[in-house]
Structure 1
Amino acid sequence: MSAFKPALFEFAVRADAAWDRWSRRVRRRLGVAQPLRILPYRGYGTPERALIRGRVLEDRHVKPSHLRRTLVGSAIASYKRYATREIAGAHVAVRWGGKRWEGTTDEEGFLELWVPPPESVVPGWNPVEVELLSPEPEGVAAVTAPVLVAGARAAFGVISDIDDTVIATGVTNPLKRAWALFLTEHRTRLPFEGVDAFYTALRDGPEGGADNPIFYVSSSPWNLYEHLDEFMALHRIPAGPLLLRDWGLSRHGFAPGGGHSHKLDKIRGVLGTFERLPFILIGDSGQEDAEHYRTIVREFPGRIRCVYIRNVPSRTGRARELSRIEADVRAAGSELVAVDDTVTAARHAAGRGWIRWEEVPRVEAHQREDAEARTVVDGLGREGS
């Protein structure tokens, strides 16, 4: 029985990909097939090896965010994000600093290509050109996929959850989560107070200008990539690779479902890539972040400087569980700090020498500003209800 389920999922994935290919051929003959597009994702790596990522899809022509001004418009845009048609087996070319490689997308249209960067690579963000070779390359514009390369000045890395850590989504409440995922825009959603200033301080490090890499891990689907990227840019949250989850059928099963263990694999991949860097992990108490981070602390001894867990409304008994996890993390050689707000985390980080003390007042100021903005938005929401 244990071997039957993987074989079943493998068959289902192949059948689904075959159906998509047949469907597109039919729609092309009928003249109703949408043109293709390349959606670039933020990659990451070192001067020795780097990951270039993207996805080839049919272009659903989602209306630009500044033109979506109603709940209906947001719902239509959300539907188009989720109702994607992926292009399996697409052949792409990648160009970076005079070097060229080729890659092929998987059954869900994803491209993941590890390459040795050119000698001219510099720390920070590097533009990489991705071009479609087949199928149907005519009229498909090449795109730029940013790749974050950690340099010698990086003192540590940061891995942060997104849901209820950066953005208030109410993920423990199914109705709130559905609203957050399907019916809200990046312009109306708000970050947790002070997150932008705190993460900027972590990126800059204790001396300033360190350019410490920041990664964002979430159980949200890849379909929300552009939504989340726009949100972070709007709220001045430092850019970083987004490590999301493929919703739907895959060789591993059907998602969402089965918990959040996929985050562990993504975190292991990051730590394995940046072998010399220690890391700070940030999450919340509502899901399984603390449990996953405890596992990482144990698997990578000496690599995790601290685990910050934001306290959010949780089930009964969660505080006792966190207390036990805190003791386990301490026994493994790191520390877990549960905080009620961003300023508390910033003060602790400054005390440990990970950010500059002069950044703490800036975090306090941003926390006040964000709290005032949330009060205004909440008041408008009550008036409109």
Structure 2
Amino acid sequence: MVYRLAHQTHQRWSQLRRDLRTRLGIPKPLYVLPFRGYGTPARAVVKARVLEDRHVRPPEQRRSLVGAAVASYKRYATHEVPGARVQVRWGDKQWEGLTDEEGFLDLWVPPPLNARPGWHEVHLHLPDAAGQPGADAVGQVLLSGTDSELGIISDLDDTVIETGVTNPLKRAWALFLTDHRQRVPFEGVGAFYAALQAGRHEGVLNPLFYVSSSPWNLYEHLDAYLQTHEIPAGPLLLRDWGLTAQGFAPGGGHGHKLDKIRAVMDTLAPLPFLLLGDSGQEDPEHYATIVREYPSRVRCIYIRMVHSRRGREAELARLAADVRAHGSELLVVEDSVSAARHAAAQGWIRWAEVPDVQRAQGEDAAAAGVLDRLERHP
């Protein structure tokens, strides 16, 4: 009751503020932030968010810790635009969707006829309305077809990006006060994921997804991170942080990841999947749940071993036995090369990719060492 009342008050205040600025002739510019969507040639989701422009300065223009803190504040202090009409054009087809109370657009559509598997551009248009200038953006949708060999779903924090999520101070620093050029990936991840995405046969594009408890406010930051470190692109499935009618998110652990994974697997059925995560949080438990819910759909769970609490090894052993009893495998790995060798032995990647992963792992380790020395002795 209290959360619902507070949420309604916040929504009304935001609308009054927007209406007042419009009447005074000083409306804040709006922009459409496209997210990567996904689907099949039969059904796909177009994802975006409509926000008031925050004017976040790019990393190269931030010269101090204060500048980074200001940019971080602007990323989190968003002003969403609910009920915005967004026009979507994909090839010769057009649709219109409404943003929800947090400004999100999740529009499920039938792709144009003869849309082939792979990446597709969609054009998003926010029309002018009541003295408020509109906006345009171009989004992407990944279609998976019958030529896909398997799908890949990976956690981000401490699986791809070294954040120290088990340490609250390290996580806060990583989320709020660093840009994508300062955060290093785990060694060899980019090459390993590229090999998984390419599959075993020529011309294959296996769909790759990233799930994270990081907020949608960090979408641009995380997307730039993946590009900077040459980690293959894929839909980012994040979490809404903030006041809602149900409570103040985040709360209740990482269960939202299960909902995201289920949505992907239901949409791309009967495609089999690999699940990748780390031992520090609840990835193994969530992935074991998915194995039980989707019999024969999960080929393997790769868990990166990170610093974790006492007794975690015994818990992982019990989970591995449970996963094995349900017809899959949970494998704890120390590095990307170990995972790549196992994947090659199973026929999920080409053996020729393993030396590339090993070489990339060495290069990433060297680069991380240089960055660490620069941070300690600027």
Partner of 1:374: 368
2:158 is matched by which residue type in structure 1? D
SS at match of 1:52: strand
2:170 equivalent to 1:182: no
Q: 1:168 aligns with which of 144, 162, 166?
A: 162
Q: 1:296 aligns with which of 278, 290, 303?
A: 290
2:342 equivalent to 1:348: yes
The alpha-carbon distance between structure 1 residues 34 and 138, as it changes in their structure 2 partners (threshold 3 A), is: closer
Q: For residues 132 and 113 of structure 2, what CA distance do their matches in structure 1 show?
A: 32
Q: For residues 282 and 335 of structure 2, what CA distance do their matches in structure 1 show?
A: 19
Q: 1:40 aligns with which of 11, 23, 34?
A: 34
Q: For residues 313 and 129 of structure 2, what CA distance do their matches in structure 1 show?
A: 53
Partner of 2:270: 276
Q: Judge which range, 338-347 or 243-252, deviates more.
A: 243-252
The alpha-carbon distance between structure 1 residues 136 and 273, as it changes in their structure 2 partners (threshold 3 A), is: farther
Structure 1: runs of 5+ lacking an equivalent: 1-6
The alpha-carbon distance between structure 1 residues 15 and 298, as it changes in their structure 2 partners (threshold 3 A), is: same
2:81 equivalent to 1:87: yes
2:254 equivalent to 1:260: yes
Within 5 Å, which residues of 2 pair with 1:1-385? 8-133=2-127, 135=129, 139-384=133-378
CA RMSD of aligned residues (A): 1.4
Q: For residues 330 and 267 of structure 2, what CA distance do their matches in structure 1 show?
A: 24
Contact 1:90 1:135 in 2 (8 A): no
Contact 1:220 1:244 in 2 (8 A): yes
Q: Using structure 1 for the length normalisation, give the TM-score.
A: 0.95
Q: CA deviation at 1:15?
A: 3.0
Q: For residues 246 and 212 of structure 2, what CA distance do their matches in structure 1 show?
A: 18
Q: For residues 136 and 312 of structure 1, what CA distance do their matches in structure 2 show?
A: 53
Q: For residues 137 and 127 of structure 1, what CA distance do their matches in structure 2 show?
A: 29
Contact 1:34 1:60 in 2 (8 A): no
SS at match of 1:53: strand
Contact 2:22 2:131 in 1 (8 A): no
1:115-162 Cα offsets, whole Å, 9 max, x none, are 000103121110001111364585433111100001222110000000
Q: For residues 240 and 296 of structure 2, what CA distance do their matches in structure 1 show?
A: 31
Q: Using structure 2 for the length normalisation, give the TM-score.
A: 0.97
Contact 2:320 2:330 in 1 (8 A): yes
Q: CA deviation at 1:31?
A: 4.8
1:232-267 Cα offsets, whole Å, 9 max, x none, are 011111100000000012244221221000000000
Q: Judge which range, 261-270 or 244-253, deviates more.
A: 244-253
Q: For residues 131 and 196 of structure 2, what CA distance do their matches in structure 1 show?
A: 42
Contact 1:125 1:148 in 2 (8 A): yes
Q: For residues 247 and 324 of structure 2, what CA distance do their matches in structure 1 show?
A: 35
Identity %: 62
The alpha-carbon distance between structure 1 residues 300 and 96, as it changes in their structure 2 partners (threshold 3 A), is: same
Q: For residues 38 and 131 of structure 2, what CA distance do their matches in structure 1 show?
A: 26
Q: For residues 260 and 17 of structure 1, what CA distance do their matches in structure 2 show?
A: 26
Q: CA deviation at 1:67?
A: 2.2
1:299-322 Cα offsets, whole Å, 9 max, x none, are 000000000000000111111111
Q: For residues 286 and 376 of structure 1, what CA distance do their matches in structure 2 show?
A: 26
Q: For residues 347 and 31 of structure 1, what CA distance do their matches in structure 2 show?
A: 62
1:82 is matched by which residue type in structure 2? Y
Contact 1:219 1:245 in 2 (8 A): yes
Q: CA deviation at 1:12?
A: 3.7
Q: Judge which range, 200-209 or 160-169, deviates more.
A: 200-209
SS at match of 1:142: strand
1:91-130 Cα offsets, whole Å, 9 max, x none, are 1111111111111001100000000001031211100011
Contact 1:219 1:260 in 2 (8 A): yes
Q: CA deviation at 1:30?
A: 4.2
